[in-house]
Amino acid sequence: MKKSIKAEIISIGTELLRGEITDTNAGYLASQLPLAGIELQRMTTADDDIKRLAQVLRSALRGSSIVITTGGLGPTQDDLTREAIAQVLDEQLFIDPVLETHLREIFTRMGREMPPANLQQAMRIPSAQSLPNPRGTAPGWWVEKNDKVIVVMPGPPREMLPMWQNEALPRIKARFPGEIIQARTIKTFSIQEAKVAELIHPFFGAINPTLGIYAKPDGIQVRLIAHGDDSAQLLDNAGNKIKQILAPYVWGTDTDTLGGIIGKTLSERGMSLATMEDYTGGLLGNMISDEDLSSRFYRGGLITGSDLVKIGWGVPAGEIEKKDSMSCGVAEAMAAAVKEKFSADFGLSITGISHKNSPSGQFDKVCIGVADPGGVKSWEQQFMWNRNDSFERAAVAALFRLRERLIELNLLYYVK
């Protein structure tokens, strides 16, 4: 194994340290680096204080070959990233005439005069190349010096993301041509993290591929990372063994989503889906709508705020009166009603009463219903109430049940 390239990420901004905005950049960049063969050593969030910022930069440059910063490139006097880097590298900031012209053009196009403060966004140090920012006024920097690389990017994710993908990552790959690194993610549902760990225990501690287990709202994921010229083969070997061990819990790999798998299955067959939900209040419909293919298979959904509304949409009042019994009849009636009302091939429903006005820790009882060409079925599930993820877990559980029905109807097959 080649010696790995080490990196650090520094997120800059007092607003991050006051918890006023959430840093999504660092987590995104962290997930990108393993696939470029780069080992992230540390992430730091620093405030807009030149002394502390310089200290964090110095410490990062001591331990890593690549230092990636986001934030602190705005036009105000609080934006000190450029200055801190100049100080640490002992270089002088100057106004780059090309950058200045470009910046003035942006303001001209917006029909506004450029405030003098913005001029600092046209500054760079001699060892910095600028990275274009088509979505904002602050260009990034690519700095190479003393065998180290500093990548400097703006804080707003909509500016940072394209700069990373189009400018920074290609330069990093060219500057640090590593060996081939590939990853595979195996996605499961209805199985506990500890049970997954127990079943695939023999794969732990391997060096190539390495293995990680992660709990996500859509189930437990196993991620394999392999390196070297035979990484594809190594991933296939280990991945197939793990899929065999974990079947029938495995529902997909890599970028698969439950909604995507269902959508592909239905749209290929010209079949359609409709939803009715109360517990999840639109989240189930929203998850399905988010799928790229949704317009081809998702007829639509009903969010029912009250029992009267359900009755109005075809759920028999008798089923609703019985709902305190152990049956999930309401969920079945909802699925059947929405299938009919939307003239869909499949109706999917979620019903339940949430403890959303109570403290966390109580159990919500939820019923999921599926109506399909083969009949109507329902399942009861319990979710420990927790505003962060109970609704999402219930919506995922409903999609998982629908996938099971698609398998039973021979429209979809287990992941091989």
**Interface with a copy of itself in residues 144-163 (CB under 8 A):** 157-158, 161-162
Indicate whether 365 belongs to the interface with a copy of itself (CB under 8 A): no
Helices (H), 64-183: 81-89, 97-109, 157-163, 169-175
- Which residues in 369-398 contact a copy of itself (CB under 8 A)? 386, 388
What string of DSSP letters covers 38-54?
EEEEEEEEE-S-HHHHH
Choosing from 178, 300, 314, 316, the residue that interacts with a copy of itself (CB under 8 A) is 300
Three-class HEC string of 394-409 = HHHHHHHHHHHHHHHC
Residues 212-251 binding a copy of itself (CB under 8 A) are: 212, 214-216, 223
- Phi and psi at 184, nearest 5°, equal -140, 135
Query: Considering beta carbons, is residue 247 or 308 the nearer one to a copy of itself?
Result: 308
Candidates 5, 12, 43, 220: give the one binding a copy of itself (CB under 8 A).
43
Closest CA to 416 of 241, 220, 243: 243
Based on CB atoms, which residue is closest to a copy of itself, 52 or 173? Answer: 52
Binding flag, residue 15, a copy of itself (CB under 8 A): yes
> Which member of 130, 137, 280, 349 binds a copy of itself (CB under 8 A)?
280
Beta-carbon contacts of 132 under 8 Å, excluding residues fewer than 6 positions away, are 139, 140, 163, 167
Q: Count the Cβ atoms, other than its own, within 10 Å of residue 106.
A: 16
DSSP 147: T
165 DSSP assignment: I
Is the link from the previous residue into 248 a cis peptide, with omega within 30 of 0? Answer: yes
Q: Which range in 91-99, 284-292, 371-379, 399-407 contacts a copy of itself by CB under 8 A?
A: 284-292
Per-residue binding letters, 45-64, with a copy of itself (x by CB under 8 A): xxx----x---x--x-----
Q: Can you tell me which of 4, 17, 208, 256 binds a copy of itself, judged by CB under 8 A? A: 17
**Shortest Å, Cβ 414 to a copy of itself:** 25
β-strand 140-145 against 66-70: which pairing, if any?
A: unpaired
- Candidate residues 266, 288, 331, 399; the one interacting with a copy of itself per rule CB under 8 A: 288
Only one of the segments 103-111, 248-256, 297-305, 403-411 lies at the binding site for a copy of itself (rule: CB under 8 A); that segment is 297-305
135 binding a copy of itself? (CB under 8 A): yes
Residue 202 interacts with a copy of itself (CB under 8 A): yes or no: no
Q: Which residues lie closer than 8 Å to 352 by C-beta, 6 or more apart?
A: 278, 279, 364, 365, 366, 367, 394
Q: What's the token pair of residue 74?
A: 């705005």
Tell whether residue 19 is a contact of a copy of itself (CB under 8 A).
yes
How many residues line the site for a copy of itself (CB under 8 A)? 73
Which neighbouring-strand residues pair with 297? Answer: none
Closest to a copy of itself by CB, 190 vs 358, is: 358
